[in-house]
Structure 1
């Protein structure tokens, strides 16, 4: 396990940027077709990411034989996640959607155990237990609301399960494409699915208003052009449990930013969940560093 200072800083920025996006998405889809909103966000993200890569001097050319790998990675990481998650956000509050969506690390562990026979250390198990307890606490005050929105709940859990599987596949990917180019083409692969879903299932298209355009711009530049690029870079460099559990703090940011932006009030479960999420992060991120520091003098 290796987590340098740069990766840690990127994880913090990623957590804040993605967490704040949950209430932003809720504002964006409140009166606008959900898949249409995501389609505009992703189209803008493709343009922004493509421009950024070209300015860095990277080629967007796809080498021969790479399309099967790109499509295989795009289906769980992009298509399943974005199609199901944006529809669920329409049905659930931003906080509940974030909580359910970021059960992803638990799904990643389940896929690892069932499909890949991974062995997980005691510290990681402790982190998973803390993260799961925090998630249950955050959900405990919303049971009645979740029971009233079974479709949204199932859609978000399906999105999280797909993303968890995609995280495992990303770690095991043999593609030699640069992360930026891989992210760009996975977004391109996802666009036709969003367009088809919009044409088949949504009505009431119109031009977005100022709030919706702001949400689209934030998603295009920050979420798609930055967060996705950083996430897939870290997913390929770090073990799935580490990168997954690092994301478990995002729903906490989502819940509290939703309270700030949408006027919700915190409960004792929210504060206790924050402590549990910090414990989960410490068990995965800090424990190995402390163990390495402790064993260093002996090795010397």
Structure 2
């Protein structure tokens, strides 16, 4: 039988695996640059249609990878109910709220609100998973959230003018946090690639139906070259590779460490949005970057460097 995709044990008693560090770095790059890509896409086309395309590409691509590895696509007995629930919260809600939020806000700033996710995930993981929030993790989380606050303060006036955009991005953050904790809590019988494929396939069904009923599939014909490139990028690398990588990270790390590790993504989102979309970039962005890097170092690296400490704090 395949090994469970996500362990329900807290690996806090083990050294943090190197694979997890590489995966977090790659997520920062690819999910960070996905924010301006998504913005380019939804500027030209209907968000429902955009997300439907992403789901078809992501689920189909991951299923092809699973079959190429010789894995069955059968859903094990007992996994279907939890799969439907977590797919709706972790995938459907996140994708829909973030896509529509992006239509109302600048891409870089929208990513900042979305990545308050580690705060909610850390709180939920302590309550439901009984994970430890040690001093170093609290400091790292505080530094990351301070960085997000620094980037967000100049946007308070703008957010006040577009409350629905901010509300949607916050809803996206909370749904992703809840989904992350649920993924960690459930003893899955599938491997990571199978779980990721079915999460996207099931989570995408309501979005695909909505795209056909209330969306504008014809908006694909309105795509400019930048918009088309944004759709292609978002549908392939973030939807296929990044979803597999994220599910693997949740399997390797405690939920609160995995969540804190994503704090670098909105920083990449802000800088890449400035480069690609010509969104403003100020000294506050550099300060936020320094705080995030410091926070990640404290949570992910410092524990192994402390004298007499071979285990994470």
CA offset at residue 212 of structure 1?
3.1
- Which residue is 1:59 aligned to? 72
Confirm or deny that 1:247 pairs with 2:262: yes
| Long gaps (5+) in structure 2 | 1-11
2:151 maps to 1:134:
no
Aligned to 1:150: 163
What stretches of structure 1 of length at least 5 have no aligned partner? none
Q: Could you say what secondary structure the match of 2:44 adopts?
A: coil
CA contact (8 A) 2:131 2:256 kept: no
Q: Is the 8 A contact 1:48 1:220 kept in 2?
A: no
CA distance in 2, matches of 1:32, 1:67: 33
Deviations 1:76-126 (CA, angstroms, capped at 9, x unpaired): 210111111111011111101110111100011222344455441100110
What is the aligned counterpart of 2:285 among 270, 274, 279? 270
Partner of 1:212: 227
Contact preservation (8 Å) 1:171, 1:237: no
TM-score (norm: length of structure 2): 0.89
CA distance in 2, matches of 1:132, 1:296: 26
Change (3 A) 1:253 1:296: closer
Distance 2:123 2:16 in 1: 23
Aligned: 1:36 with 2:31: no
Q: Deviations over 1:105-155 (max 9, x none)?
A: 001122234445544110011011101110100101111111111001001
Q: How does 1:1-300 map to 2 (within 5 A)?
A: 1=12, 2-116=15-129, 118-203=131-216, 205-208=218-221, 209=223, 210-291=225-306, 294-295=307-308
TM-score between both structures, scaled by the size of structure 1 = 0.93
Q: Name the Cα RMSD after superposition.
A: 1.7
Q: How far apart are the structure 1 equivalents of 2:169 and 2:48?
A: 14
Q: Distance in 2 between matches of 1:190 and 1:259?
A: 31
